[in-house]
Amino acid sequence: MQKISNLYLLIALEIFLMKKKLIICPTCKKKNTWQANNPFRPFCSERCKLIDLGEWASEKHRIAGEDAHKTESSDEEDKE
């Protein structure tokens, strides 16, 4: 009987820890708990979300690859 109750305790603890998944805000690096009702996730706040958006808009963050404008001009040269 004791082994069964210990097993249930361990399972309950694992479920609790899974629900309390810790994340780190990509902007301020503050530890936070992942919550489905947080409208700013994966960020901790609206401020951090807007800072990240501004960095993408100012091209501080980029996705590696060829410039789209160069690709379009190469396609036009190939047609001629």
- What residue spans define the domains of the chain? 2-79
Beta bridge partners of 22: 33
pLDDT of residue 47: 97
pLDDT value for 26: 92
How far is residue 80's CA from residue 74's CA, in Å, rounded to a whole number? Answer: 10
Chunked in runs of 10, what are the mean pLDDT values of the chain (80 residues)? 69 67 89 84 93 93 79 58
Task: Tell me the CATH number for domain 2-79.
Answer: 3.30.50.10
Question: What pTM does this model have?
Answer: 0.55
Token pair of 31 as six digits: 């530890």
Distance of CA 13 to the CA centre of its chain: 25
Q: What percentage of the chain carries pLDDT values higher than 90?
A: 28
Residue that the structure tokens 């980029």 belong to: 62
Residue 51: HSE in the Cβ half-sphere, 13 Å Cα cutoff: 11
